[in-house]
């Protein structure tokens, strides 16, 4: 099995992601991210409500073509399961009980996709749906440790990728964003640099309840699903700088 890296520094990669000018740049960055984390594959897949789709990733083209030829989209438990979820999911938690699903998994493993996977579902405006997925070959315990250690950063990176990919959507116009208040900006900045809610509240000399009010207000203004998503959006739009 290949190595699974400890949490890599993502600063430079995030900066280059923000300045990406097309899907070609995203492809190069996702390959670099795969190497930094030491996993077998990383894939980003975007689907619009109209059915238009595109993405980037490191799956071998032989598998991509087979996936399309076999119509695996209809039975892939990762797609089916993540479409019903809002939070990251380890593939082991999905339903692989059906004969077709098990055959699909064996075919994927035979094509080098790996027996482990971690997918982050992302929902955007106008019915857009995306998945950011890492896959690897190895024991359950190694994979559990890796996903636990890197979960927060992976969610942030996934939303950065999605935000940038949306900019390349034909006819896309930026969503209007309500300005964040100074207190909301302070709260989001502290959370972005890794402070816990308790630490952020203490730093700002306010209660955790008051901090929660600021964070929820910022989340609503940013149209985010949760706090992590809000931090990612605030960072990607340059509202906060860390």
Assess whether pLDDT exceeds 80 at residue 51.
Answer: no
Q: What are phi and psi of 240, to 5 degrees?
A: -130, 150
Q: How confident is the model at residue 73 (pLDDT cuts 50, 70, 90)?
A: confident
User: What is the C-alpha to C-alpha distance for residues 156 and 120, in angstroms, rounded to an integer?
Assistant: 10
User: What is the C-alpha to C-alpha distance for residues 88 and 119, in angstroms, rounded to an integer?
Assistant: 6
Q: How confident is the model at residue 127 (pLDDT cuts 50, 70, 90)?
A: low
pLDDT (0 to 100) of residue 86: 80
Domains of the chain: 11-167 (3.30.450.80), 182-236 (1.10.10.10)
| Among the ranges given (35-44, 142-151, 159-168, 195-204), the one the predictor scored with the smallest mean pLDDT | 159-168
Residue range 69-85: mean pLDDT, rounded: 87
- Provide the 3-class DSSP secondary structure of residue 186: helix
Residues 6+ apart with CB under 8 A from 223: 125, 175, 233
Residues 6+ apart with CB under 8 A from 41: 34, 57, 58, 59, 113, 114, 133, 134, 135, 136
pLDDT (0 to 100) of residue 1: 45
Assess whether pLDDT exceeds 70 at residue 170.
Answer: no
Q: What does pLDDT average to over the chain?
A: 85
pLDDT (0 to 100) of residue 50: 58
pLDDT (0 to 100) of residue 147: 94
pLDDT (0 to 100) of residue 48: 63
| Distance from the Cα of residue 118 to its chain's centroid | 10
Residue range 141-157: mean pLDDT, rounded: 92
Q: How confident is the model at residue 144 (pLDDT cuts 50, 70, 90)?
A: very high
Residue range 2-6: mean pLDDT, rounded: 62
pLDDT (0 to 100) of residue 45: 86
pLDDT (0 to 100) of residue 58: 94
What confidence tens digit (pLDDT) does each residue in 180-225 have? Answer: 898 999 999 999 888 999 999 999 999 999 999 899 989 888 887 7
Question: In this prediction, what percent of the chain has a pLDDT beyond 90?
Answer: 47
Residue range 116-127: mean pLDDT, rounded: 83
Strand partners, 45: 55, 131
């Amino acid at each position: 099995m290949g190595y699974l890296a400890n949490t890599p520094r993502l600063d430079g990669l995030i900066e280059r992601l923000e300045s990406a000018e097309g899907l070609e740049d995203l492809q190069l960055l996702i390959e670099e991210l795969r190497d930094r984390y030491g996993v077998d594959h990383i894939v980003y897949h975007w689907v619009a409500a109209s059915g238009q789709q595109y993405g980037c990733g490191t799956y071998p083209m032989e598998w991509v073509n087979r996936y399309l030829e076999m119509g695996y989209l209809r039975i892939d438990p990762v797609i089916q399961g993540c479409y019903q979820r809002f939070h990251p999911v380890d593939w082991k938690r999905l339903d692989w009980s059906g004969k077709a699903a098990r055959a699909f998994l064996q075919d994927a493993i035979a094509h080098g996709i790996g027996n482990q996977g971690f997918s982050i579902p992302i929902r955007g405006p106008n019915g857009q749906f995306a998945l950011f997925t890492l896959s690897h070959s190895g024991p359950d315990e190694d994979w559990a440790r890796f996903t636990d250690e890197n979960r927060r950063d992976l969610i942030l990176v996934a939303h950065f990728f999605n935000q940038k990919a949306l900019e390349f959507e034909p006819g896309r116009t930026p969503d209007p964003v309500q300005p964040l208040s100074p207190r909301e900006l302070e709260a989001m900045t502290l959370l972005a640099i890794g402070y816990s809610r308790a630490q952020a509240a203490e730093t700002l000399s306010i209660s955790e309840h008051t901090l929660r009010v600021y964070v929820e207000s910022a989340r609503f203004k940013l149209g985010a699903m949760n706090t992590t998503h809000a931090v990612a959006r605030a960072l990607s739009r340059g509202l906060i700088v860390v």
